[in-house]
Every structure is written in C-alpha cells, then in structure tokens.
Amino acid sequence: MNENGITVRNKKIAVLPGDGIGPEIVREALKVLKAVEQVFGHRFDTGTYPVGGCAHDLCGSCLPEETLEACKCADAVLLGAVGGPKWDALPGEERPERALLGLRGGLGLFANLRPAKIWPSLKGASPLKPEIVSGGIDILVVRELTGGIYFGAHRRSADGKSACDEMVYSDSEVERIAKVAFECAKSRGKKVTSVDKANVLESSRLWRAIVGRVSKEYPDVVLDHMYVDNAAMQLVRDPARFDVLLTENMFGDILSDEASQITGSIGMLPSASLRLDGFGMYEPIHGSAPDIAGKNIANPLATILSVAMMLRSTFSLHREADAVEEAVSKVLDSGLRTSDLAAPGASIVGTAQMGDAVTEAVLKMVK
C-alpha cells in the first residue's frame, strides 16, 4: 500500500537490460522489486525489450521502434547500460549511445536527477581526505537533458578541416528545469547552486537570467551562481558546500561523473530522468563495463537504488523507497562489498550475492 493505503497494481515497467553488465545488474534490481511486491502487497507488470548494441545485432537498430513504443506505453522504464567496443566502428548515428538520446527525446525526459552521497559505512572509500568528507556528502545534480550542445546542430566543413556544434537553449527550457531544482531543494538543504559559463557563453547568460527570475518564486531557497570551472574545483575542495547543483546538459554530464567519483564508487550512483507528469526512466550512471560482463563482479547497488528512486518519484511509494535504501544501508553496514568497494576487513561478494543480500534485507522489513 502507498501512503494513502492504496495497493499499487497493474503498473507497467519497461525493462531494458542493454549491453555489458546491464543484464546482470538489472536482474538483481528486479529481485529487490519482487521483494517490495511481497512485503508491501503491490504488483508491477514488467516486460523486457532490447536496446543498445544488442538491439543493433538483433534487428539493425539500437533503439527499435517496438522498444520505444513499449516505453511510451509503460508507467516507468528501468534501464541497465548500453555500448561497448564491439560497436565502436558503427557510424555515429547508429552507435548504442544514441539510443539514450532517442529515449530521452522520444519520451520527453527533460530533467535528470543524479544524487551523489557518501553512505556512512563507505566514507573510507572516498578518494578525498577524511577531513573533507567527515561531515558527509549529499549532493543532488539536476541536469537539463534534452537541450544544449548535445541536441544542437552539428556541422563539419566539406574539406573536413573545421566543425561546429551549437549550444541552444530557450527561456522555457531553462525555466522548467530550474523549477525542478528549486522544488527538490525545498525538501533538502534549501540551496541551489546554478552552474554556467556566463562570462563567455551567451546561452549561459540567458540561463543565469532565467534561473534568477525563477528563484524569486522560492524565497526560502538560497540561490548562488557559479562558473562551471569553479564548480569542478569546489566539488573536490569542499563538496559539502553543495546541496542542489543545477546545470545545463553537457556541464551536468561532466560534473555528475565527477561527483560520483568523490563518493567512492560510480557503482553506487542511481539516476532518474523525468518529465512533468512523473513518468521516468531510471538507470545507474555507470556504463556497460564490458570488460567485467559475465564475471559476477559488477556492483548492482546503483541499479537497485534506481529502483528506489522509481518507487518514490513515479509511483509515490515513499515507504517502499525508504525500505530499499535502508536495506542497502544495512547490507553495507554488515561489511558486504563488491570488488569495486574492496576494503580491509570487508567481505567481498559477487553481483548476485549482493542482490540476494539486499533482497533478504527488504524481505525482513515490516510494513
């Protein structure tokens, strides 16, 4: 049941395992989702569809029309990872990574939420000095996802000696992502740091003006502006100063990966890509890691935590999301680690064993 005592049934989740370690980590996340169903009495309908390089091998397209249509008919999407060197020789428009842009654009997913936090039992895994992370780190990167340089025009001269990539933003695009950031900040630390390059880029000057205008609707939230190069420096110098980081598409892509590394492992970071009606696509921020695929050593926790984000953001199942996150915390506190989190005294387990441990912890929860 949700917070209103309503049992959730017949909600559709399109599952896209993808390439590399994708199928392995998604498998463990679905185990945890089944445990949530059992404990809380919900029922989700899941269907699995190809995407990425494996889809190209199967039907000649990295984003088959059947897959996109299934996602459009679903209430949420759970994605593993796409890509790998096997498909590096494909033309740019056919590369597996283009499937991500196709999903974001085709589904209208304009807001990317990437939380980066240090779990208490993983403080020693951060590459930063202990005194920097001693107070904890809990950052939410809110990244605009369907505009900017990734979606602008891309041109190369006929002689191949010059190229141009356009970064384009409209005021409405900036306004809607800014409102997402301020709404998130209201329930967190009530601070938004807007990242831009307004000393150089005209698109950033527009960005800064619109964000400033939106901030007036949120008098209880503090806004500060920061150039992207300074933000990159401050993330490793004083990450605790940040609460919500609001960025355009490319800056957010870069800064969220940096933020993931200071938490200790990219294998711990989930993400949500949302539109206004609550529909979302949920995925770990790491890649397909083809070098470790099939070896049962990948960390499934980012994908499991992505399921928690899905439960909270799309299905409004806050207790259930809390239960998954509490289960992950308990498992980490017990000393279990995948190899990316290896530390003295830790018990190293494989992908399936970590998924089983979190599943068991959820099953022990009381409604």
Of the chain, the end-to-end C-alpha distance in Å amounts to: 9
Question: Which structure tokens are listed for 362?
Answer: 């959820």
Helix (H) or strand (E) holding 307: helix 301-313
* Residue ranges with strand state E in the chain: 9-18, 43-48, 76-81, 111-117, 138-144, 154-156, 163-165, 191-196, 222-227, 244-247, 270-274, 280-284, 336-337, 347-348
Q: Which of helix, strand or coil describes residue 280?
A: strand
Torsion of CA 295, 273, 123, 266, to 10 degrees: 30
CB 214 within 8 A of CB 172: no
Residue 229 is among the residues annotated as catalytic for this protein: yes
Q: Which residues of 336-351 are buried (b: 16+ CB within 10 A; e: fewer)?
A: bbbbbbeeeebebbbb
Cross-strand partners of 227: 196
Q: Is 257 a catalytic residue?
A: yes
The single residue of 197, 227, 322, 356 carrying the catalytic annotation is: 197
* CA distances (Å), origin 233, targets 118, 166, 239: 19, 26, 9
Burial class for 7, CB neighbours closer than 10 Å (0-12, 13-18, 19+): exposed
Give Cα 354 distance to the centre of its chain.
20
- Catalytic site residue 253? yes
Size of the chain in residues: 367
Q: Which of 19, 31, 150, 340 is catalytic?
A: 150
Q: Which residues, other chains included, contact 262 with Cβ-Cβ below 8 Å and sequence gap of 6+?
A: 116, 118, 126, 127, 128, 133, 137, 235, 236, 239
Which positions are catalytic?
150, 197, 229, 253, 257
